[in-house]
Structure 1
């Protein structure tokens, strides 16, 4: 806590510029020693005033040291709308102590868009695509969903429309909202498949009402195997559903997926909640690349993948809340994982050797031992019969 009070004032500024600022925000700008912001934001202020005007550099992170150098002065930082809605607020305040800053937000793009569309704010799924791939939307493409995406520029809107059409959602209604709240405001609508505008202006957001024949990701664990590219090394759908039930993901938790293969377990763990995290360990470089592709295609950019032997690298990683071992458990790995306490472990065995190890571990360390036997109906001559899969033994333990 600093004794001198706030030295940084974050001011949210909209397209209506100075006229739209509150009296406290205007007073802060008039009293400031310096004002920092993007060129577009600085241009919205009157030309008068004593403050030094500093253009925030690109990339954004390069401006943080420049700001911190002015600690002790009276500094105003300009940001779009609400600095804490997909804005710069959290990026900057993580470098400051409580009491060093104060914020005067303006209406966010979310609230302005909702007002134009008549959408209740609490029904909207919002996402910042100005710095993320369009695939981030993949888990949220479902008929009846309302999505608002902040976009980088007009070209990124065109890219988004083309991607939606490729995913089978070309019938989605897209509303393009440009420069909301200012004299340049424009709101236009069409379907994703029909969008062909070349004059989309920045700043821009897109509202999406998904529609079409595209596949929708289910909410329950156990996605069909064909959602994932694989070489046969994949935890199959029914077994994966049982594994995720045993792993019991909770918000904010970290999973280690040892022997990640196609990445299916880690990806479904990450799909369970946007705050979950996962690290996948895999020795095979081609499988590692395939897992990365699967994660990207399903909109999961936060999967961390590590090539090489897991035991040799465990100490270098943040401690997990849960660990999944899909096969190849060894006594050495068990001992390494025991050092992670407290932690939940779910391990699967297909071979007799690994099954014997799980049985020994169950006697020694407790937990639950489950034998999973599955059979599918397959053609048998002119009729059908049951074709059994290899039985799988699951050991679940918390230590």
Structure 2
């Protein structure tokens, strides 16, 4: 016989009890404890249950909640608790039969219904506790997005961010307190955000416009997108490397000898569910990788300032590995013991590292390819080929 859940995660809107379903009213009526932000608690009528304000930061409220395990508890959250809300954070702490959820309309749904936008064609992001740079991969003329922001000041930050990237002509619909008596919608252009004040809770629907540079959706984006001291896998070589690495949803990459971080960053740009760890022994380059990742909207890149193979011991096992620097026999010996099916791609430029890859290709198989590129450059009044150092690429599935 199934247990009755002791916890109800309840989505509430800005119109308080008027927007609650009969099931929501029943959950509140039977609750012994109601926890939530003070704003949500203030939207509800007087309760028989004890009211507890969820503390800030959010993580501090989890141990408080767990102290009431076994009581009848309702936790209040905005709209749909499982769409950029608190629901998933709470649920992962509990067994599935311990909780139930009663969602309300999400802010995204309310915003789309006000604007007449087809929600399945809109980028939806929760940036109330995340950097604005997560918008970067999506910014292109014509893109529509709805973003949740922490407060009114963040609206100004968003406008400045868009303008700095060349998208200051983007049309913004600033939506405050959607679904409640304080609801207000304001339309303006991104570079005009300093002309008004906005109040929490706030969402912004934007139609991207301007002359800013969109991030291509292919492997091998321009080198100019990355800060670099010259230690970077150049665009054509990077495209070939990522083709061999073949990122798939949910997979983890080790990027060894990260340099500028270009391989790991493009791996993450391939799919929002991918993850990557960049291992770089030089502190200045590790810091630069962090800057590049944050600026290009993939702050989920984990950067480790250390040398391989020593730094690899405690890391989660990857599905793919790229070696762009620090190639050695000891490193390849370590990587050869990764689980069957791991994809390994390594690059070599020097004769010594090329010989090392040739030796390991003979031992483990895979493809060995020499990539020689040359660009046309002026030579007096004519042109000639300027050849780059050839790169040897070894790719193998263990």
TM-score (norm 1): 0.98
Q: Which of 246, 271, 275 is equivalent to 2:273?
A: 275
- Residue 198 of structure 1 deviates from its aligned partner by 4.0
Contact 1:327 1:350 in 2 (8 A): no
Contact 1:34 1:75 in 2 (8 A): yes
- Number of residue pairs matched by the alignment: 397
1:46-97 per-position Cα deviation (integer Å, ceiling 9, x unaligned):
12x3200111110111111111111111111111000001100000000111
| In 2, Cα distance between equivalents of 1:241 and 1:159 | 34
Aligned equivalent of 1:159:
157
- Residue 197 of structure 1 deviates from its aligned partner by 3.9
Q: Which of 75, 78, 101 is equivalent to 1:77?
A: 75
Aligned equivalent of 1:106:
104
Contact 2:141 2:209 in 1 (8 A): yes
| In 2, Cα distance between equivalents of 1:380 and 1:197 | 54
1:12-68 per-position Cα deviation (integer Å, ceiling 9, x unaligned):
100010011000100110111111111000011112x32001111101111111111
1:265-314 per-position Cα deviation (integer Å, ceiling 9, x unaligned):
00000100011111111111001111111111111101111112111121
The answer to whether 1:379 aligns with 2:383 is no
| In 2, Cα distance between equivalents of 1:324 and 1:299 | 21
Q: Which of 236, 258, 261 is equivalent to 1:260?
A: 258
Contact 2:155 2:193 in 1 (8 A): no
SS at match of 2:97: coil
SS at match of 1:43: helix
Aligned equivalent of 1:225:
223
| In 1, Cα distance between equivalents of 2:69 and 2:289 | 45
Aligned equivalent of 2:397:
398
Range moving further from structure 2, 335-344 or 16-25: 335-344
Contact 2:279 2:311 in 1 (8 A): no
Q: Which of 166, 171, 174 is equivalent to 1:173?
A: 171
Aligned equivalent of 2:369:
370
| In 2, Cα distance between equivalents of 1:327 and 1:108 | 46
Aligned equivalent of 1:21:
20
Contact 1:249 1:269 in 2 (8 A): yes
Q: CA RMSD in A?
A: 1.0
Alignment gaps of 5+ in structure 2: none
Range moving further from structure 2, 3-12 or 253-262: 3-12
- Residue 199 of structure 1 deviates from its aligned partner by 2.6
Aligned equivalent of 1:351:
350
Aligned equivalent of 2:183:
185
SS at match of 1:85: coil
1:76-155 → structure 2 map (5 Å cutoff): 76-155=74-153
TM-score (norm 2): 0.98
Aligned equivalent of 2:31:
32
Q: Which of 56, 59, 78 is equivalent to 2:57?
A: 59
- Residue 3 of structure 1 deviates from its aligned partner by 4.9
Alignment gaps of 5+ in structure 1: none
Aligned equivalent of 1:10:
9
| In 1, Cα distance between equivalents of 2:247 and 2:223 | 20
Range moving further from structure 2, 336-345 or 21-30: 336-345
Contact 1:328 1:349 in 2 (8 A): no
| In 2, Cα distance between equivalents of 1:235 and 1:315 | 25
| In 2, Cα distance between equivalents of 1:141 and 1:236 | 24
